[in-house]
Amino acid sequence: MHAELYTDGIEEITVSGTIVRIDLVSLSPTERDANNAPKRVFSQRLIFSVEAFANSVDVMQKALQGLVDAGVVRRNQPAGSQNGASGVRDALAPNTRSLNVSSNFR
């Protein structure tokens, strides 16, 4: 049996020369933020060469497109549309949340 890893998300991606580091986070079972929501805490780091990272992004984009094509993930209507009130987040749209992100991507 192989070890498996679950993550609640990516906190930060840092590029340093030819190395890409991706910090994974999990929701804390004990720590809470000001809104009483579980805090995102560092769990593990993935380290890629730039080439491996680029190949991985390509694979994930194809997987995401397959989910969109299968109807598992739906795209929201453009911002001005009347039908955009479905409450489903567009997985392919830019993330508009304010995140603590690496200075490499500002």
Mean residue pLDDT of the chain comes to 82
3-state secondary structure of 14: strand
Per-residue model confidence as pLDDT tens digits over 39-54: 999 999 999 999 999 9
pLDDT of residue 75: 72
**φ, ψ (nearest 5 deg) of residue 70:** -80, -10
Residue 89 has pLDDT above 60, yes or no: no
3-state secondary structure of 29: strand
pLDDT of residue 74: 84
More confident residue, 65 or 94: 65
| Mean of pLDDT values over 58-79 | 88
Query: 9-16 and 19-32: which strand pairing?
Result: antiparallel
End-to-end CA distance of the chain: 41
